[in-house]
Amino acid sequence: MKKHLLSTSAIALGVAMAAPATAQQWDMNWGGFYSAHVGYADIGGTVAGPGTDFDGVNIFNTGEIIFSPSVTLDNGMTFGINVQYEAHTAGGGIDESYMSISSDTLGRIDIGAENSAGYKSMIGAPTVTSMWINSPSASAFIPRTGVNTFRQAALSSYTEVAGNNDTTRISYYTPDFNGLTVGVSYGRDGVTNVSHNYGLNKNALALSDVFDIGASYSQSFGDSSVTLGARYGTGSYAPGNPASDPETWGIGGQFSFAGFTLGASYTENDNGAATGVGDQEGWSLGMTYDVAGPWSVEALTYQGTIEAGAVDNDYEAYKVGASRDLGPGVDWDLYLVMTDTNNGAATADGTLLGTAINLSF
């Protein structure tokens, strides 16, 4: 009898504790994306020497399942989380994981493992197909040499300080003021990727005290629209590192009219070496056009450089493509990509003809 009463009490307590959340109606959102690419690549340069064979058909898949439940309280505050589960890593894994607190008057606060406010404020050249050249994606088919850094300007407009990625940080975004939003981020460390950062000695960290600020502006004028973005970030290297503190900055924008969208960006990473070796810069330029009906087309380029002393490391990429809307959350891509990379001693170039089916849900 006593056990029965205890069980009944526990059930009643559980119902009582759950009632406020149920009354506020949690929205158990989830979604994600999945892209499947099939392409044929023809590879040249010194990497394609005797004993190598990079040519031919290859397959590249990428995707995430994103859980984003949230609840809006009677006072207008919304609390939620965002957890992104990778669909194509060796053992699975969490890509980003953070809590958000927001309201119309407060703006939004993000706490957890996520890209910085500066990163999320940037704008690059527009694209309609899912094989990005403003990122390392094309290396799934075409090898690179000399340009292998991540989240830095030689490969992408979307940079982070010293290439940090999804580290634990707190970010604040202002409410939208007539299309203008400003965000700031702080992370104690810049080296832990989606993991706890308790007990971290900053003096033993490769990168710490990472600060970012970004601003974005978006506005429509009749049938035209403009989107602008800018960012700055800095951090601190460990004591004893002779390099000065790393920095990154960038600016970009897009302008749309009559079905056309034109866009460009310029970014830099100053990684602190006195000689400038390791510093990076990159720019993008492109145009898309929404054809009457289900098709959209694109033409764009990304150009990047890493300072390497006597001979710089270079990355050049060009893409033309078309995307057809097949239905809600389903589209079909066709694209041609050409890239050329070198590190002074070795070169890699290639041409990729590919197609993809993209699902978003």
Adjacent-strand bridge partners of 173: 108, 183
| Alpha-carbon gap, residue 81 to 33, rounded angstroms | 18
Per-residue DSSP letter, 28? -
| pLDDT average, residue stretch 9-20 | 41
Interval 161-200: pLDDT, tens? 999 999 999 999 999 999 999 999 999 988 777 777 677 8
Q: What is the pTM of this model?
A: 0.89
| pLDDT average, residue stretch 38-44 | 97
Interval 324-361: pLDDT, tens? 999 999 999 999 999 999 987 899 999 999 999 999 99
Q: Looking at domain 28-360, which CATH architecture does it have?
A: Beta Barrel (2.40)
Chain-centroid distance, C-alpha 267: 15
pLDDT-based confidence at residue 1 (cuts at 50, 70, 90):
very low
CB 319 within 8 A of CB 134: no
From residue 183, alpha-carbon distances to 115, 161, 214, 256, 306 in Å are 12, 16, 5, 24, 28
What is the reported pLDDT for 15?
Answer: 37
| pLDDT average, residue stretch 76-103 | 90
CB 262 within 8 A of CB 255: yes
C-alpha count within 13 angstroms, C-beta hemisphere, residue 163:
18
What is the reported pLDDT for 19?
Answer: 43
pLDDT at 220 over 80: yes
pLDDT at 18 over 60: no
pLDDT-based confidence at residue 91 (cuts at 50, 70, 90):
low
H or E stretch covering 116: none
Domain parsing of the chain, residue ranges: 28-360
What is the reported pLDDT for 92?
Answer: 63
C-alpha count within 13 angstroms, C-beta hemisphere, residue 179:
10
What is the reported pLDDT for 160?
Answer: 97
H or E stretch covering 322: strand 313-327
What is the reported pLDDT for 343?
Answer: 85
Name which of 226, 222, 243, 225 is nearest 234 in CA terms: 243
The mean of the pLDDT values for the chain is 91
Q: Tell me the pairing of strands 313-327 and 330-342.
A: antiparallel
DSSP string, 282-313: EEEEEEEEE-SSSEEEEEEEEEEEE--SSS-E
What is the reported pLDDT for 143?
Answer: 92
H or E stretch covering 317: strand 313-327
Question: Alpha-carbon dihedral of residues 166, 171, 177, 181, nearest 10 degrees?
Answer: -30
What is the reported pLDDT for 113?
Answer: 94
Name which of 103, 37, 118 is nearest 70 in CA terms: 103
Interval 116-147: pLDDT, tens? 999 999 999 999 999 999 998 999 999 988 77
Per-residue DSSP letter, 14? H
| pLDDT average, residue stretch 40-56 | 94
What is the reported pLDDT for 195?
Answer: 73
Residue the block writes with tokens 């056009």: 289
